[in-house]
Structure 1
Amino acid sequence: MNGWRITGAAVLGLGLAGCALGPSGQAPAMPEPARYAASPPPDGGASATGPELVVAHVPAAAWWIRFGVPELDALVTEAWAANPDLAAARQRLEAAREVLRAQTGATTLPSIDLGAQAARQRALGLPLTLPPPFPELPRTSTYDTFVGQAQARYTFDLFGSIRERNRALADRVEQQSAQWRAAREALAANVVSGALTLSALQARLDILASVAAGLRRDEVEAVRRQALGAAPRAAVLDARRQAEAVAAQIPGLQAQALSIRHALAVLLGRTPDQAPEAIAFERLTLPAQIPVLVPAALLAARPDVQAAAAALRAAAHDAGAASADRLPSLTLTAAMGRGGYDWPSALSPAGALWSLAGGLTAPLFHGGALQARHRASLQAHAAAQDDYRSTVLAAFREVADALASLEQGGAAQAAGEAAASAARAAAADAARRAALGAVPPAAARAADRQADLTALDALDVRAQRLLDAARLFHALGAPEAA
């Protein structure tokens, strides 16, 4: 009795020790930056052109609605519902969850199987007489057998090998779930960025079309003046050159706009011929406020960081399973049924069959394979730690870059808008003077053209700030339930 107690205590102690066989799956400590960018934001992060940057602990949900047009929300909603790549990723995630359920059920509960067999066979000869109630076998040695039984099998997880593998698979499913959320947010960001880029490109095309029309009028006037002898042929050629130079830019931009529309259509799950139209650029507004997460909240909001953390936990559980594989395993099997050489004997009390067996297996020599697998799992865990650090640093950098672009672009937008306003005022003044006959119509058209070209520069800056805002929103992550 004492020997059994000692053995049981030893097994229990080794089983408890199995809980600590693997490394910790906790994420390594990361330094929290005092601020994201290398230099402090100008004027505390606010500018005359906005947006206001406010400290937050929760990321903005459905941030694209802050650009002021309902069409963006409709596009993102449609993409989430119809994008085939996102749908395929979702199906793969559900398949992974079912695999986890299958592995957990197969390894934590006993397996029970029912079997039945009926056979007729001829042996070399059986010159023996069986005791009652079995009949004497015929000398021909041809006989029937009938067997039916239930079999049960269960492996005891003494040292946590099964538990560690199940936990590793669960963490990999969680990693895949986080990757799906990252793909979902990336899809939303791509749809918004594509729509913003398309709107800015269409606005540029409209301005260039206006400039090209003005230059065509200058060319027509130069031809008329040449016919009257008031202008040389060089003036006509110069006007034509300018008009053709601007007109040559339009087809390439139109092709680029069509390419963006086609890409948006695919993101939305449509065919290219059903591509969405451009949103009027003047309807888009820069968000008034952007909640900038503190670094600790950023790590919880970024799905790529959460995926890296899940991969780290899975690697730790893999190392624990590799350690447990070097320890003994215990398997219990049991069977119960009936058998005989005919149905009456199989159903009689003498036909009862049963078996109960326990097997203890301890690895003795595997050519160093178990030790090598354990060392490999520890190296994989160390690599997962480095991957986590890299992912966190990349997240900090994305936020810092987006913040820097958005903050520094405020001054450029203010200057561009001031220049565009001055050029438009000059064009209006030139138009009034031309109406009074103080300057020729060509001078008014030149001033108007200069205002359009200045508006192009302001358009580029404003479009970039819209894209920077979308980029910052995406870099800040999303709520878990978004």
Structure 2
Amino acid sequence: MNVHGLYRTRVSVSMGVATLVLAACAFGPTGTPPAMPEPAHYGAHAQPEQTVAAQGVAQRFASGAQPVPEWWRLYRSDALNALVDEGLRNSPTLAAADKNLAAAREQLRAQIGASLLPTIDAGGQVSRQRALAIPEIGPNTFLYNVFVGQLQAQYTFDLFGAVRYANAALAKRVDLQVYQFDAARRALAANIVAAAINAATLDAQVETTERLVALANEQAADTQRRYALGAVAHGDWLSAQQSAASLAAGLPALRQQALTTRHALAVLLGRTPDAAPPALDLAQLHLPDEVPVVVPSDLLQTRPDIQAADAALKAAAADVGVATAQLYPSITLNASMGQGGFNWPAAVSGAGALWSIAGSLSQPIFHGGALVAQRRAALDTYDATVSQYKQTVLTAFQNVADTLAALEHDAQSLDAANAAALAARAGFDETSARYRLGAVPVTAARASEQQFRNARLDEIRYTGARLADTAALFQAMGNPLASAPDSTNAQSAADASRDKHD
């Protein structure tokens, strides 16, 4: 073959290889998330700029604001801050997730190092062997020593991107764990806040209910005395007893609920239930007067669950690339060098030099349809991940819409309950003053206090609900926009190599 023919052959081979390498870029989907609707507002109705004023506070919805990282501090309670800090520091569940994430990152580093760079191993062998006699040479057997020391290297060329796709898939799965850890950390903080608010609410309800039970018992005892005097009918006495007993019957369940909540809070903090913290004072928890409302398009980047779904989508896309690349040839280069001989001086001399170099080509031809089926399975898994991403986004939108609506309705209910409690309190104060002057009997003062305590129970419930739903909205907003996880940097070498071909 002449020089021009050799040149044309080299050019043809180079173009063919380049075409194959470039084709590898299209081996799988891009992993770009599907386009999602960007509604003008989250719920069926646009959220108002602020809620109605309840207990003197009208919460403002700051549209377009960024999420607050440590939002629980806005409740202005040092005790609540201490509980959240303790939980984030001592939670076994969070510690286990952190270690699992660290292990996943090390596995990613190990896979990238093993797949993108040649492997080099050193080996040595010292043996004494006995060979059978050869009749043509003589009847004696042979005893001899073998000394061998070698360095062996192996490298598989990633012509079609199987290794790069596999590394990208694992990197995105590490990203997924990063976002899941972040979501777990935020969920733990939100659960601690919700449990603390619930415990404070139940403690206040128990205290008020205990007073109602005491009033009912006083009323029953007073009715019994009046019945003994013939001032009331027997049915009135029985009715008073029944009312007091019914009210007292609900108190143990309320106490049990309060204790269960405190036990759950203790476990969230990493404590045993016997070390459960005391309930916070509900009056010491200040409602944040402003809450951020991230625009729907930004919510896709601030919610850890959506970011995790995005990472899963990209990992599934890379899996398709791996399954496709497995249909194409694989080239591996092996080399070794060392020293060997039948005695130590010979093994270390120039005559004992050993070396070898070899290349192998493997092209799948027939695997019973397994490789094609694996690629179809990877494509189906990718399609399923796309649908899961869509559902995650829709669920996130619903979560925000529900919490926004809950806050508005909580404020309305609390405003009405607060007005009722204030009116009942004013009536109780007035009746108590008249009772002290002897203008009304004790039963009237007791009934007025019962009316106030019942109104106060409703106010306590709605106060707790408003505080808890505010925490839920902070949680629903996610994290402020930030840079990519560390695993992206750990996989930068693979991405840079892949980008050259793309």
Secondary structure of 1:20's match? coil
Residue type of the alignment partner of 2:281: A
Give the equivalent residue in structure 2 for 1:51: 59
Structure 1 CA distance for aligned equivalents of residues 87 and 135 of structure 2: 80
Map of 1:302 onto structure 2: 303
Partner of residue 68, structure 2:
60
CA-to-aligned-CA distance 1:327-368 (integer Å, 9 cap, x gap): 111111101011111222222322111001111111111111
Stretches of structure 1 lacking an aligned partner (at least 5 in a row): 130-136
Q: Which amino acid aligns with 1:25?
A: G
Aligned AA (1:378): L
- Using the size of structure 1 for normalisation, the TM-score is 0.94
Deviation, 1:283, is: 1.8
Q: Trace 1:66-465 onto structure 2 (pairs within 5 A).
A: 66-126=74-134, 139-465=140-466
Tell me the CA shift for residue 387 of structure 1: 0.8
Letter in 2 for 1:259: T
Structure 2 distance, partners of 1:323, 1:278, is 59
Deviations 1:89-111 (A, max 9, x none): 11101000010011111111111
Asked if 1 retains the 8 angstrom alpha-carbon contact of 2:41 and 2:47, the reply is: no
C-alpha separation between the residues in 2 aligned to 1:67 and 1:239? Answer: 42
Indicate conservation of the 8 Å contact 2:51/2:407, yes or no: no
Partner of 2:19: 13
Output the CA distance in 1 between the equivalents of 2:410 and 2:265.
27
Q: Encode CA deviations 1:233-252: one digit per residue, 9 max, x unaligned.
A: 43333322222222211111
Render the CA deviation track for 1:402-423: whole Å, top value 9, x for unaligned. 1111112222211111111111
Asked if structure 2 preserves the Cα contact closer than 8 Å seen for 1:57 and 1:297, the reply is no
Superposed, 1:22-37 pairs within 5 Å as 22-37=28-43
Distance of 2:464 and 2:267 partners within structure 1: 23
On the 8 A contact 2:71/2:474 being kept in 1, the answer is yes
The residue type equivalent to 1:36 in the other structure is Y
Alignment-mate amino acid for residue 299 of structure 2: L
Q: More deviation in 454-463 or 108-117? A: 454-463
In structure 2, relative to structure 1, the CA distance for the partners of 1:370 and 1:443 (3 Å cut) is same
CA distance in 2, matches of 1:372, 1:109: 30
CA contact (8 A) 1:119 1:146 kept: yes
Please tell me the root mean square deviation across aligned C-alpha atoms, in Å.
Answer: 1.9
Cα offset, 1:126, TM superposition? 4.8
Q: Distance in 1 between matches of 2:363 and 2:446?
A: 93
| 1:161-192 deviation digits (Å, cap 9, x = unpaired) | 10110010000000011011111111111111
On the 8 A contact 1:30/1:389 being kept in 2, the answer is: yes
Report the number of matched residues. 474
Q: CA deviation at 1:229?
A: 3.6
Alpha-carbon offset, residue 286 of structure 1: 2.0
1:192-248 deviations in whole A, cap 9, x for unaligned? 111111111111111111111222222332233334443344333332222222221
Residue identity in the other structure for 1:435:
R
Please state whether the residue corresponding to 1:381 is helix, strand or coil. Answer: helix
Shift in Å, 1:57: 3.9
User: Aligned partners of 2:146 and 2:110: how far apart in 1?
Assistant: 36
Structure 1's consecutive aligned runs of 4 or more residues displaced over 6 angstroms after TM superposition are none
Aligned equivalents of 2:205, 2:40: Cα separation in 1 = 40
Shift of 1:451: 0.7
Partner Cα separation in structure 2 for residue 445 and residue 111 of structure 1? 87
Deviation at 1:121, TM superposition (A): 1.8
Q: Which residue of 2 aligns with 1:134?
A: none
Whether the 8 Å contact between 2:125 and 2:148 is mirrored in structure 1 is: yes
- Seen in structure 2, the aligned counterparts of structure 1 residues 138 and 92 have a Cα distance that, compared at 3 Å, is farther
Q: Give the percent of matched residue pairs that are identical in Structure 1 and Structure 2.
A: 48
Q: Is the 8 Å Cα contact of residues 133 and 139 (structure 2) preserved in structure 1?
A: no
The TM-score normalised by the length of structure 2 is 0.91
String of CA shifts for 1:263-293, please: whole Å, max 9, x gaps.
Answer: 1101100011100111111222321000110
Q: Residues 4 and 141 of structure 1: is their aligned pair in 2 closer, same or farther, counting only changes over 3 Å? A: farther
Q: The residue matched to 2:123 in structure 1 has which SS?
A: strand
Does the 8 Å contact 1:126/1:141 carry over to 2? no
- Structure 1 residue aligned with 2:487: none
CA distance in 1, matches of 2:133, 2:480: 77
Q: Which deviates further from its counterpart, 103-112 or 339-348? A: 339-348
Look up the SS of the partner of 2:190 in the other structure. Answer: helix
Amino acid at match of 2:19: G
Q: Could you tell me how far apart the structure 2 residues matched to 1:99 and 1:458 are?
A: 54
Quick one: which amino acid aligns to residue 180 of structure 1?
F
2:39 matched to 1:38? no
Shift of residue 46, structure 1, vs aligned partner:
2.9
Secondary structure at the aligned position of 2:68 is classed as: coil
